[in-house]
Structure 1
Amino acid sequence: MLSRWGWKKLRIPHKSPLSRQGGYRFYRALAIESSCDDSCVALLESDTDSKITIVDHSKSTLSSSAVGGIIPTEAHAFHQYKLANLVSEFLTKNAIDSKNPPDIIMCTRGPGLVGSLAAGLQLAKGLSIAWGKPLLGVHHMLGHIMMAVHDSKSLQFPFLSLLASGGHTMLVLLRSAVDHEIIIDTMDVAVGVSLDKCGRELGIRGNMIGKELDRYVQMISPQEKIEFDKWDISKRKNNPFDFQLQLPLKRPDLPLVPDTIQFAFAGFQSSLQHVRKGKGPSLENDNNTDKKFIAYRLQELVFDHIIDRLNVALKKHGTNSKEYALCDSKFSGINDLVVSGGVAANSRLREKLNTQLKSERYLGNNFNIHIPDVALCTDNAVMIGIAGIEFLKASNLVNDLSILPIPKWPLNDIINVDGYISR
């Protein structure tokens, strides 16, 4: 029998996590994402060769530009208003109902805004009960990683992943879909939060301020950027813009390769606030030279900090570096770095990763950097479905209906939470 998409019944071993009576493995997954301000739904299919096909997806985003950023209560209300209707229209469009249900319901369980997460999780539980299908709560950041893996086509475990978003900035070693080790975490705020706050200090406006900051910097002429690069910003007296900013964690008294490698982004905003104190609203003018200089050099230094910390990790754990006693070759056999998350859409970060990461020196000539298409870096339900399918394949676990949202969910503890049952 063929469905409306021409799906075939495929015979597989009974150990498949979703095998039905008769031994058919092919299954469809309905995925819901609502961790922040995006209401999203997607339908995916997985076949016997573990090939994942995206059937359809839909998304609606809360506009927060008028209030200068996301307000959690407003995001929760938006999901309550929008998500059920979005999913209902999506199900009708794809002829999904009680007679033709998907085989599993997947939704974002965390991390994220608790109200937003709860809206998606409750809807997913209702569909699970109505259709009698299993439920799986998915880790949001695993979704970003697996989206990039799906986009690369050929990437396999183990690999490294740089997660750069509004909620997280970390370097992770992934040995499988359920075995993760955090190599670098942030000691304060995520890079996305830092860029948003700095952009707001500079008078940048929009629904996604970090994205608007990137767009603004791109509009600065190459000639101006060359001129801006000539000035030293390590001390205020060394440039005519009265601007001082230094690379975090690079003081002479700190070791070159520390025991614990961390990111630090909070200082960028505080430095900018100090510079702007008492200087009035002049940065509201996009053609203001001070604004151009500060925006350009600040974004450069934020990404220089990411590159610097990554290179320290490569030096410490890489196979080709024996300069320091702390080197341990933990990255032996690693040939790939996946970059994902909303900040991975930034054009300048992409350029710097491809030109300034010293991967060949520390890991060898076969090291590859995988950065997905810009459209795949933002939140979507497709990534939740892909991550859920990969997690299910690796763990054979789903969830019971008692699970709650997990606002803070470390990626290295993806298995060590309540509510899992063997499928």
Structure 2
Amino acid sequence: MLRFKGLKQYYSYLPLCRLARNYRVLAIETSCDDTSVCLIDRPGRDSPPVLLAHKKHSLDTTETGGIIPLKAHLLHQQMTAYTVNEILQPIRDDAYTRQNGGKPVDVICATRGPGMGSSLAAGYDVAKGLSVALDVPLVGVHHMLGHLLTPRMFSWNGKALSVPLPQFPFLSLLASGGHTMLVLSESLLKHKIIANTLDIAAGDILDKCARELGLKGIMLARVMESFINENNDPTIDKKYPALRLPEPLKNTKDRINIPAFSFAPFISSLRSNLNEIYPGYTPTTLVDLASEQHRRQMASEIQTSVFNHIIQRIKNMEKDNPENLLHIKDLVLSGGVGANQTFRRMLRDLLPHIDTFHFPDPKWCSDNAVMIGWAGIELYESGLTSDIQTYSVPRWSLENLMALDGWVRDGKKL
């Protein structure tokens, strides 16, 4: 009985806090292998948000060659509460907290899904605990919604704007290690997935190819980009014979312009090429068998081919759906792959009908709590929060944001 009485009080609190004054938001992101927490000040609907603090701890995957879910879960178990404390400690007794009845924040936002189940649960449970302890509302955020709204967080900072950009409708290309999709966003809650990957994601294939070429580190696609850019000699691509790389989903008699992406063929093709050139190689021995120049050329060819595949698929989709796509003049590029500068240049060059490309700062392309905080703010200011009895979900379609149980609008369960 006490629980439901508390929930009733919790719901009735929302509209007054959301509409009457400025407020602070604490956001948590733990969908994969990064523990990230941030603090955002929201002065008002017509004023730019202010990022007050942001901290991120990432799993070291150098030796394992990939993400091990148990290790990611343990990272979140160890670092989520610790990082929240790092963020809150400096403001526990500041002027805002004292004037706010001892509450350092007014809203808690956290990634509810999609993602790795155990990782999501670690962060979302901490968020629910904070919501109860501080008696403030909770907003469960869709991870991909966070990515596609990222430019709206930063577009008006330092500018004389009363609204964030881009305005709806706009296209988003979300390219990361776990997702590659083209999305048409018509409103905050209405999104249509124009194309998705049929197998693995763009970031995943770049990581796999980088590892096959003997590269090591965290976020291998970014390591490979740096490796390629270490030598800007324009003649390097002509020094060795070009790799024979696939054209996934290429049109055939029985298959025309499938609205999808496919990346798995690239790793099979790279291995086939390498076995022909360096029989019996392994990623470890390739470092000695192949010159650095050759490995750099192969990395460049793979990267360019993957990006060309994405762009060509988009162009084909535009030809097939001109009435739905060609009138859209804004494109958001987000996700970890979106930080790649070569990819950004290729998009500008090969999609000339797009008037405005929205490229977040590279540090906000990969998973972070800031994108979750801003998406949470947009949901909160639309009247939505999450029931304290909700739980994280590994699978959640962007096209069905409101399909999950547990949404609350202006204090009433939906």
1:120 counterpart = 2:95: no
Equivalents in 2 of 1:335, 1:19: separation in Å? 37
Task: Identify the residue that residue 267 of structure 1 maps to in structure 2.
Answer: 265
**SS at 1:122 equivalent:** helix
Q: Return 5+ residue gaps in structure 2 as ranges.
A: 1-11, 157-164
**Which of 49, 59, 62 lines up with 1:62 in the alignment?**
59
**SS at 2:177 equivalent:** coil
**Which of 179, 200, 203 lines up with 1:168 in the alignment?**
179
1:195 counterpart = 2:169: no
**SS at 1:45 equivalent:** strand
Equivalents in 2 of 1:350, 1:123: separation in Å? 36
Contact conserved, 1:194 with 1:265, CA < 8 A, in 2?
yes
Matched letter for residue 411 of structure 1? L
The 5 Å alignment of 1:85-234 reads 85-95=82-92, 99-153=102-156, 154-227=165-238
1:29 counterpart = 2:25: yes
Matched letter for residue 129 of structure 2? G
1:373 counterpart = 2:364: no
1:388, CA displacement in angstroms?
Answer: 0.7
**SS at 2:402 equivalent:** coil
**SS at 1:66 equivalent:** coil
Task: Identify the residue that residue 323 of structure 1 maps to in structure 2.
Answer: none
Q: Return 5+ residue gaps in structure 1 as ranges.
A: 1-14, 232-238, 319-328, 361-366
Q: Aligned-residue CA RMSD in angstroms?
A: 2.3
288-297 or 85-94: bigger deviation: 288-297
47-56 or 282-291: bigger deviation: 282-291
Task: Identify the residue that residue 279 of structure 1 maps to in structure 2.
Answer: 280
Contact conserved, 1:18 with 1:25, CA < 8 A, in 2?
no
Task: Identify the residue that residue 421 of structure 1 maps to in structure 2.
Answer: 408
Cα shift readout 1:4-37 (whole Å, capped 9, x = no counterpart): xxxxxxxxxxx9953249x614222111111112
Matched letter for residue 362 of structure 2? V
1:343 counterpart = 2:337: yes
Task: Identify the residue that residue 236 of structure 1 maps to in structure 2.
Answer: none
1:299 counterpart = 2:303: yes
1:225, CA displacement in angstroms?
Answer: 3.7
Equivalents in 1 of 2:185, 2:145: separation in Å? 10
Contact conserved, 1:42 with 1:382, CA < 8 A, in 2?
yes
| Higher-helix-fraction structure | 2
Equivalents in 2 of 1:419, 1:283: separation in Å? 52
Cα shift readout 1:52-83 (whole Å, capped 9, x = no counterpart): 22222222222221222221100110111111
Q: Percent identity between the aligned chains?
A: 40
Cα gap change, 1:199 to 1:164, in 2 (>3 Å):
same
Cα gap change, 1:416 to 1:223, in 2 (>3 Å):
same
Equivalents in 1 of 2:192, 2:33: separation in Å? 28
Contact conserved, 2:318 with 2:326, CA < 8 A, in 1?
no
The 5 Å alignment of 1:353-364 reads 353-359=347-353
TM-score normalized by the length of structure 1: 0.83
**SS at 2:105 equivalent:** coil
Cα shift readout 1:167-190 (whole Å, capped 9, x = no counterpart): 110110001111100111111111
Cα gap change, 1:340 to 1:413, in 2 (>3 Å):
same
Equivalents in 1 of 2:185, 2:85: separation in Å? 36
Contact conserved, 1:184 with 1:261, CA < 8 A, in 2?
yes
Matched letter for residue 374 of structure 1? P
Equivalents in 1 of 2:127, 2:48: separation in Å? 24
Task: Identify the residue that residue 376 of structure 2 maps to in structure 1.
Answer: 388
Matched letter for residue 260 of structure 2? Q
1:418, CA displacement in angstroms?
Answer: 1.5
Matched letter for residue 310 of structure 1? I
